[in-house]
Structure 1
């Protein structure tokens, strides 16, 4: 899994699907964090998942319905699967992400799944978190937490005049769950590499 980090503005991007371009042209440094992240076998994940909220809607539909907004703008592929996460990436948040990055496999509803965590277990399996599927295939899901944070947004009213209002709650991605049949490549995700612009952290 590749992470790009622009320190000039504390912004980062997590590539969940392999990106074909060569990062080295636009980033000063790269660092391999993990060449082959071990996959844990866990039996109790489904019990934790059952405690979360499972709305009967897709991730993109929840955004369009105004259930939440993204931290910045995550990218979806043509089929609706999330392929990249744009986020504020300060030094402390990057350290937190790397320390809590975990890959596990488990059985759920008679199927084998992989689980990629971007936060500690308490943050991932908070009972107030939500689980959304990406497509009708239900072969991949995302766990999000809805923060109490909001921000002002500018909209056009019916008279096409701009007006300021508070946004829906901001959602943060905590984990990704998927089957092997989904577009996510477990071999790509096992290798964690950081691409850095400007001075190293």
Structure 2
């Protein structure tokens, strides 16, 4: 799964679906290797059926994400949907420190669980206790209710942050893709510090 972070812009993008443009990204072009051994990076897959109980404790919205955006909540930046309403990618505020912390703590995990009498994969995009906060709201992406997102919504600004993807559509969100970490860090502080010490900036 490709997750980019441009520290200079303090922006990131999470590619939830594979696409042809991802092929241009490789870990040898990422500055994540200045901080971590890239061979040790992983997105664990964990079977946890009782996680469905945590999901059931959250409010499930009746409207789809597309129907509710800019009404019940606002986007932090922009999240790309396909024609049917399935989420392709997430644009978010992301600094180097935030990104490195998420990677170090393995916030990105893939869980297999049972929920609503169905098998789902839950991809977490933040710390576990923040993802499964009872105040978060689950929104279906389409009327089929086969893919959902968990939103944390700031009560004062109504700005939402996507905390997790809940999917039964392995065709749209392939397990092998979600489990393959491609953490692309650009313009990191260490990159600039090392180049300054070499007189390259």
- Larger displacement relative to structure 2 (190-199 or 76-85): 190-199
The answer to whether the aligner puts 1:52 opposite 2:53 as a matched pair is no
Provide the TM-score with structure 2 as the length reference. 0.81
Contact 2:55 2:115 in 1 (8 A): no
Higher percent of residues as strand: 1
Task: Find the partner of 1:147 among 151, 154, 166.
Answer: 154
Corresponding residue pairs, total = 181
The answer to whether the aligner puts 1:40 opposite 2:46 as a matched pair is yes
Q: Which residue of 2 aligns with 1:14?
A: 14
CA RMSD in angstroms, aligned pairs only: 2.3
2-structure distance, mates of 1:52, 1:37: 25
Unaligned stretches of 5+ residues in structure 1: 151-168
Which residues in structure 2 correspond to 1:97-108 (within 5 Å)?
97-98=102-103, 99=105, 100-108=107-115
Unaligned stretches of 5+ residues in structure 2: 33-37, 191-201
Higher percent of residues as helix: 2
Say if 1:14 and 1:53 are closer, same or farther in 2 by CA, change over 3 A. same
Moved over 4 A (4+): 30-36
2-structure distance, mates of 1:141, 1:63: 14
Task: Find the partner of 1:185 among 174, 183, 200.
Answer: 174
**What are the superposed Cα offsets for residues 146-198 of structure 1, whole Å, 9 maximum, x if unpaired?**
01353xxxxxxxxxxxxxxxxxx100011111014551111100011122333
Q: Which residue of 2 aligns with 1:134?
A: 141
Task: Find the partner of 2:82 among 77, 83, 106.
Answer: 77
Contact 1:30 1:193 in 2 (8 A): no
Provide the TM-score with structure 1 as the length reference. 0.81
Q: Which residue of 1 aligns with 2:198?
A: none
